[in-house]
Structure 1
Amino acid sequence: MNLAHHFAVVLGTAPTPQPDHVTAAGQAASQASDSNTSTAADVLTAIGPAGMLLLLLMAAFALYVVSLSLHPNAKCGRCKGAGRHHGSVFSYAQRPCNSCKGRGIQPRLGRRLFFKQQ
């Protein structure tokens, strides 16, 4: 090879050894592989607003279940977490709360619905 050919190869102006139909087939294959990759915007437009709403609801439900597992109990609504009721006539008199049985906490509604105790 001569020096002019080396410069042509380095500069990218040298003729390719492949025929045009092979180059065109390679370009078509690379374009097909590019079209298979999708971005988040493409996925969102494909699932539509109803699918997006469904995904958001599923994410919110998953977060609620995690919250239930981390914090399964809430303060009792009747005794406000004290575990005791004060008498209405004799305010110094106390008794255990009937609702929470004196514990001051009750299981959350989701815990009672989804994680039933036997």
Structure 2
Amino acid sequence: MSSTPATSTLTAATHGSATGSASIDLAATVHTVTQAATVALIVTAVIAFYLLTCLIWPFGKCRRCKGAGKFKSPFGKAYRYCGRCDGSGLRVRVGRHAINHIRATRGAGTNSVSKGDKK
């Protein structure tokens, strides 16, 4: 019979040595950081593409009237204009609202010489 207890062998097998554990933790951390960076890059690319499309096509269909701009009566040929889009059938997209806000905030900054003062 051996004089070493069975639990020490089992503990060493399941937990590993101190140096082996540190290298595994470092590899897992690097792998997680790489995944997070990849996800951040993909999200940034998607947001940039959406904002670019909002620059090109700032309007979408009105959600209430589905782009028609008016509602027909159930009987006859009468109709009324959509109250949300005022009959245009269009709405400003969310990304375009963000772009307009950024432009307004940037344009509202004060300069050392304002446009009205000519000194």
- TM band (smaller chain): 0.5 to 0.7
Cα deviation for residue 85 of structure 1 reads: 1.2
Please give the alpha-carbon distance, in whole angstroms, between the structure 2 residues aligned to 1:66 and 1:91.
43
Cα deviation for residue 95 of structure 1 reads: 1.2
In structure 2, the residue matched to 1:72 is 58
Distance 1:91 1:75, change over 3 A: farther
Percent identity of equivalent pairs: 33
The answer as to 2:37 corresponding to 1:56 is no
Please give the alpha-carbon distance, in whole angstroms, between the structure 2 residues aligned to 1:113 and 1:66.
12
**Unaligned stretches of 5+ residues in structure 2:** 1-30, 105-119
Please give the alpha-carbon distance, in whole angstroms, between the structure 1 residues aligned to 2:85 and 2:57.
17
| Higher alpha-carbon Rg | 1
Please give the alpha-carbon distance, in whole angstroms, between the structure 2 residues aligned to 1:87 and 1:62.
42
In structure 1, the residue matched to 2:86 is 101
**Unaligned stretches of 5+ residues in structure 1:** 1-44
Cα deviation for residue 75 of structure 1 reads: 1.0
Segments of 4+ moved more than 4 angstroms: none
Please give the alpha-carbon distance, in whole angstroms, between the structure 2 residues aligned to 1:79 and 1:91.
18
Give the TM-score of the pair, scaled to structure 1.
Answer: 0.52
